[in-house]
Structures are given as structure tokens and as C-alpha cells.
Amino acid sequence: MIEFQHVSKQYSSDAVALSDISLSIAKGELVFLAGPSGAGKSTLMKMIAAMERPTSGKLIVNGQDMAKLKPAGVPFLRRNMGLIFQQQKLLNDRSILANVMLPLLVVGAHKVAAEQRARAALDKVGLLDRAMARPLSLSGGEQQRVSIARAIVNRPQIILADEPTANLDRASANKVLDALKAFHSVGVTCLISSHDEQMLDAAARVIHLKNGQLVAIDKATEAPVFAPPDPDFAPKPGQHDVDAQGDEA
Amino acid sequence: MRGWFRQHRFALGSALIHLRKSPSGFLLNVVVVAIALSLPFAGLTMLDNVRPMSEQMSVDPEISVFMKINTPREQATSLAGEMRKIVHDAKAKIVFIPREDALESLKSKSGLADVLNTLGDNPLPDSYVLKLNAFNSATEAQDVDAVAEQLRQLPGVESAQVDSAWVKRLAALLGVLRLVLLLLAITLGVAVIAVVFNTIRLQVMTQRDEISISKLIGATDTFIHRPFYYTGALLGLCAGALALGAVALALQPLNTAIAEFARLYASEFQLVPLAPLPMAGLLAVSAGLGLIGAFLCVQRHLARVN
């Protein structure tokens, strides 16, 4: 599903973010990306989301060679991804329901259907009763759960969570992680970066980065257990290609 | 197709939501653009009112040849052939106007029927009207004067008068006014585009987060650009409507003043607003200018938002 082949990223002659990274992440896998600040975790995630391009090497995401991906193809690639950030990047001028509906409206979903689906996503992260609240009235952990709901509402194939539990207390961080694991359990490939060693899950593979280099890959001590697929949020391959037709012109 | 409409409805709704958030700013911009548009719109309305008058007047050279009052009808009518030889113009229209017809025409057009009836005898002579082809050069214009001079030499002719010189001057003046109006419209059109450009630029800045997030969740550039296009077009459209309304309102006091002036010339001339079709055209142009301003701004500024 995601394959790095000798990928490097250099911003300038003395700013090397990633150096000769080779790794692969299989479909449905739960992978943690560990390492201290400045290790290159965010850069690696940004490259998967086509926010950055490799300086050298080959990166394949969902069968797409990122070097050959044209700018017009980036939105369609991202529609199969759910992106979660340390700063939740929610729109504070509207309700959390409207925030979660946005990815659906972007792909041309009907407003009523989008609302129905967004409510279901908020229900999954335990925030349905706060649907009409504004993001700033929620705690940091709740805001992060809203961003998870927004990430999964479109049934993505991949979830990229960049330091989703940073700035959260342990209880909130656990809730966020549980929510992510719940969506992983229905077959979504999850890549979660964290510099918090306590967050790392023994049941997941952990990729360790340091100074832009891959230093170790810990294999999962046990195979991840998948819950019975949830028809509501299981990823559907290629679903957005059809929706996208109404988005041009 | 339904998805396409839904996307446009969403974009329009999104544009309206953002306008509703800062209505005073939008209204202020509408007023600024409307002021810029009202000048060319007013000029166009004036020209449109004057145009029918100038069209009624012939701009082709026209020579009126008046016979002596005692010239016999047979002699007068026999001059047509001579006149055609003098003008050297096979396409020239030579119309003989008997004095009786001239009197009837004067009675019906001038409203002086009663006065003319008291005169008893018809004071008007037989006459000819020679309609020549339009001047193509100053030399040709001088030729007309020479033709008039030769016509004056014909037997039984009292006078020959070149009628159309002042009409030509009026037509030239209207041409200059049209050109001035065009230049004014272009200048103010650029000003409108600049105002819309700046409005959209500010909106892009205030919606930076939303644009950035939309890109991250898979919005295409088209999806992100569309609400800004609608905003620009709406701004132009509202300003156009306001400018047309302002011009129509301004016609009322102008007409009061014009009515007094026109009465002195026994005329009922009044300025009227533009017809619905030209109005719709101007609204479309206004919306188009807004769209151009939005397009230029979006192309320049949105690509920078990541």
C-alpha cells in the first residue's frame, strides 16, 4: 500500500529531512512512527500525503508512483486518505458537524446524506451529543476526536495521524488512540507518528527514525486482531473516482 | 450532471455565507464599484437618448435647391436631368417637391397651420432635394459646395443650400463622445477589476485556514476557486444593479430641468432609462468584470495557500 524505496528529502544543502528510507506498509496494517522531534516523522507523512515530494528515491502510495503524480491528481489521492494533525486544523467558525461534513461536500455528496454520515462518524468518536458545538468549546482531546471523525467520514483507505496525542493528557490521548484503533480494526491502514514511547502499541509495527534515518523496525509481537468489518466505515477502494466527476469545470 | 449542479449550488451557498459574515464590507465594496460603474452607465444612457435624434437627421450630404417663385412648373420639373449631370452621381437621389406639398408639410410639422392659412397665397417655391452619397474625404465635402454653386447657376433657380454640414458636425461630435465614453468605460472597468481583485484577496487571506484544510481533505482547485468566482460575480452584479438604479433615479431631476429647456423649443424631449435588454447586457458586463477580478486574484493568490 505504501512503499518507500531509498527515499531522501533535502530542503537545502545542510537541511536533510530524510535520508535513504526504504520501508513498506501493507494494506490494513497499524504502524507507529517513533522518534524524537526533528527525526523526520512529519516529513515522511507529508510525502505520503503529497504535501512534499521526495528529492530522490521512489515512493509508491496506493499503487501510485508519487513522482508521476500530477498536481491535479493530488486531491483525488488525498480523498482516499484521512489526515490527522497535532494541531487539529478545525474550522472554528462553524459547528463540529459542519467540520466533519466538509470532506463529503468536497466530493459532491448531497447535504442531507453528508449530514447523516457526519453524525454517524461523530457517534463513533463519542461526540454526537456535541454535534452543534463550536470546536473552541471542546477540550483538546475532543477536538482531536473531531478531526478523527473528519478523517474517517469519507471511508479512507489510509489514515495518517501526525502526533495526534501531543499536547493531550494521558486519558484524552488514550481515547484518541482507541478511536484510531477502532477504525484500524475495520481494515483501514493506519500510520501514527508519536514521540511518546508510552503511546506505542505492542500489537503494532513500530518504525524508529532518528535524524532523518531509519534506525529500527520493531515487528508486532502479535498479529493485529481485526474486529468484524463495520459496513459504515470500512474503506471502499476507488469510491472517490466516481464522485470526482462532478467536481470539474 | 446533478453532481455538477450540486457543486455549484454549494459554491454559491458558500459565497453567500461568507458575504453574510461581513455584510458591511461587501456593501461598501458594492458602493465603490457602483460609483465607478455609474459614470459610464450614465454616459451610455445619455448617448442612447441622443442617438435616435441624430439618426433621424441625415448625415449624407443633402442640397436643397429652391426655384424662383415665378418659375413655371414645366421649367422647374425639366431641371432634374440637368441636375443629375451636374452632380455626376448616378446613385444620387433627386426629389422634386412641389410648392403645394411643401406647404402641406410645413403646416403638419410646424403647428403653424393657422398662421399659414391667413397668408392666402402659398409663399413657398417649388424645390428639389438632392441626396448625395456620404463624404469620404474633405475634398468630397468641398465638391458638394462646388456642386451647389453650379446648381445656383441653373435657369429659374433662386438658391441652393447645403443642408447637412451641421448634421455632420453633430455626428462627428457624437463619435467623439462615444470614444470618450469607451475610454472612460475601459478605465473604470479596470478600476472595478482592481476593487474586486482586492476584495477577493482579502477574502482569500481571511479564509486561508479553510482553503488549506479543504486542500488537505481532497478539494480540487476548481472546488476551492468557485466560491470566490461567485463572490466576484455577485459583487459586480449587485454594483451594476445599484449603478443602473442610481442612473435611473438621477434622470428624474434631470428631466425636470430638461423639460423647461425643451419647452422653449416646443419639444417634449425627455431622458428615459435604458431598455431592459441593454440593462441586462450591462448587468452581465458588471458581473463579468467582477468575475475577471476574482479570476485574476484567485490565479495569483490561491496557489500560494498550502
pLDDT tens for each residue of A193-240: 887 777 776 567 888 888 888 887 777 655 555 555 566 666 665 544
Say if the Cβ atoms of A248 and B222 lie within 8 Å: yes
Rounded Cα distance, B262 and B252, in Å: 15
Task: Write down the pLDDT at residue A245.
Answer: 40
Mutation test of the interface with chain A: which of B18, B217, B222, B225, choosing the one with the most A Cβ atoms within 10 A?
B217
**What's the pTM value of the predicted model, to 2 decimals?**
0.72
Give the type of residue at B8: H
Which of B180, B159, B222, B168 shows the shortest CA–CA distance to B57?
B168
Residues 16-45 of B with CB under 8 A from A: 21
Q: From residue A85, how far is each of A90, A168, B213, B306 by CA, in Å?
A: 10, 13, 11, 15
Contacts of A75 in chain B (CB under 8 A): 215, 218-221, 223
Task: Write down the pLDDT at residue A237.
Answer: 58
Question: What is the fold of B62-163?
Answer: Alpha-Beta Plaits (3.30.70)
B10 touches chain A (CB under 8 A): yes
Residues of A183-206 as b/e, b for ≥16 C-beta within 10 angstroms?
bbbbbbbbbbbbbeeebbbeebbb
Residue B130 has a CB neighbour count (10 Å cut-off) of 26
CB A21 within 8 A of CB A208: no
Residues in chain B, pLDDT under 50: 58, 137-138
Q: Name the grid cell of B158.
A: 433662386
Say if the Cβ atoms of B218 and A105 lie within 8 Å: no
Q: From residue A34, how far is each of A122, A192, A209, A216, B39 by CA, in Å?
A: 28, 9, 6, 10, 66
Task: Write down the pLDDT at residue B281.
Answer: 93
SS3 A5: strand
The region that residue B240 occupies, defined by phi over 0 for left and psi between -120 and 50 for alpha, beta otherwise, is alpha
Return the axis-axis angle of helices A170-184 and A111-124, rounded to nearest 10°.
120
Q: From residue B298, how far is each of A102, B199, B221 by CA, in Å?
A: 21, 11, 10
B207-212, Cβ contacts within 8 angstroms, sequence gap of 24 or more: B207/B18, B208/B305, B209/A89, B209/A91, B210/A91, B211/B302, B211/B305, B212/A89, B212/B305, B212/B306
**Where exactly are the structural domains of chain B?**
2-56+168-304, 62-163
Residues in chain A, pLDDT under 50: 239-249
CB A89 within 8 A of CB A147: yes
B223 touches chain A (CB under 8 A): yes
CB B286 within 8 A of CB B237: yes
DSSP B137: S
Sign of CA dihedral B84, B89, B91, B93: negative
Rounded Cα distance, B166 and B141, in Å: 12
β-pair partners for A194:
A34
Which residues does B85 contact at the CB level (< 8 Å), separation at least 6?
none
Which of B161, B122, B166 shows the shortest CA–CA distance to B145?
B161
Mutation test of the interface with chain B: which of A105, A111, A150, choosing the one with the most B Cβ atoms within 10 A?
A105
Rounded Cα distance, B241 and B160, in Å: 52
**Where exactly are the structural domains of chain A?**
2-71+81-93+139-247
B303 touches chain A (CB under 8 A): no
A:B CB pairs within 8 Å: 70
Cell 496506493: give the residue: A62
Cα of B285 to nearest chain A Cα, Å: 21
Question: What is the fold of A2-71+81-93+139-247?
Answer: Rossmann fold (3.40.50)
Task: Write down the pLDDT at residue B106.
Answer: 80
Residue B271 phi/psi, 5-degree rounding, is -80, 135
Q: Name the grid cell of B129.
A: 432635394
Please calculate the CA angle B171-B172-B178 and round it to the nearest 5 degrees.
90
The strand ranges marked E within A87-137 are: none
Q: What sections of B63-110 are H helices per DSSP?
A: 73-77, 80-87, 99-110
Mutation test of the interface with chain B: which of A46, A69, A106, A115, choosing the one with the most B Cβ atoms within 10 A?
A106
Which residues does A56 contact at the CB level (< 8 Å), separation at least 6?
A6, A7, A8
Residues 188-217 of B with CB under 8 A from A: 209-210, 212-217
Rounded Cα distance, B124 and B107, in Å: 12
Task: Write down the pLDDT at residue B96.
Answer: 92
The strand ranges marked E within chain A are: 2-12, 15-25, 30-34, 56-61, 64-65, 81-84, 158-162, 189-194, 205-210, 213-218
Looking at the partner chain, which of B210, B217, B222 has a beta carbon nearest the beta carbon of A103? B217
* Cα nearest neighbour of B10 on chain A: A105
CB B67 within 8 A of CB B187: no
Give the type of residue at A213: Q
Q: Name the grid cell of B3.
A: 453532481
What is this model's ipTM?
0.81
* Cα nearest neighbour of A106 on chain B: B219
Contacts of B215 in chain A (CB under 8 A): 75, 78
Rounded Cα distance, A38 and A41, in Å: 7
